Amino acid sequence: MVALGVSAVIIEDLLRWDGRWSLAAMPEADALTDCDALLEAALIDVKMDATTSSVWLLLDCRGAVELEMGNTAVVAISGVTQFQWRTELRAQRSWRAVMGWRPELSGSGFSCTAELTSGSSIHVSGSAAEFYVGDIPGGDEPPPDFTVATDAEIRAGLASWTSEFRVVHASFV
């Protein structure tokens, strides 16, 4: 059982927990309805599950302009009908900050498009969406330096699907 803002849970477990809708608490900026709610957050991982038709976006919020509470965010889209990733070929790692976030609600569900630095973008459409903001241990420290850190150091300095997560805000559409 997870109590809002109190207990920590593994991010992946949270997204599979049937009681997660009890966590609703309006975020400072709601990525499901507010344009640019995730401005300057960094997309660090995407997980697609073809079996359940779901896509999860994991974001580092240390640089987020609109979110002061919480160092990590997750956008989970279910009933996915479209998933698109575009980027320029790069030989090196890249911090992909959100430069534009456009969520859209319609009769057919939810869609979002994120324009990212490094010439990247992601678009996801589905029947429903969830948004969580919270804290992971160590998530308030400066992010790793992508130019000199090893892959292991970078992964250790960022949230992952197996990170402990203390939910601060949650919303659903």
| Residue 40, burial from CB neighbour count under 10 angstroms (0-12, 13-18, 19+) | middle
Is 50 exceeded by the pLDDT of residue 3?
Answer: no
Q: Specify which of 1-5, 47-51, 95-99 reaches the highest per-range mean pLDDT.
A: 47-51
The answer to whether residue 6 scores a pLDDT higher than 70 is no
Which pLDDT does position 59 carry in this prediction? 97
Residues 98/115, Cβ–Cβ less than 8 Å: yes
For residue 65, list its beta bridge partners. none
**pLDDT of the residue at 38:** 97
Residue 135 — pLDDT band, cuts 50, 70, 90?
very high
Question: Is the predicted pLDDT of residue 12 greater than 90, yes or no?
Answer: yes
| pLDDT for the residue numbered 140 | 76
- Tally the C-alpha atoms within 13 A of residue 152's C-alpha that lie toward its C-beta: 0
User: What's the whole-model pTM score?
Assistant: 0.90
Contact between 57 and 113 (Cβ < 8 Å): no
Binning pLDDT at 50, 70 and 90, where does residue 137 land?
confident
Q: Domain-by-domain residue ranges, the chain?
A: 8-172
Q: Which residues pair with 28 in a beta bridge?
A: none
**CA–CA gap between residue 122 and residue 87 (Å, rounded):** 9
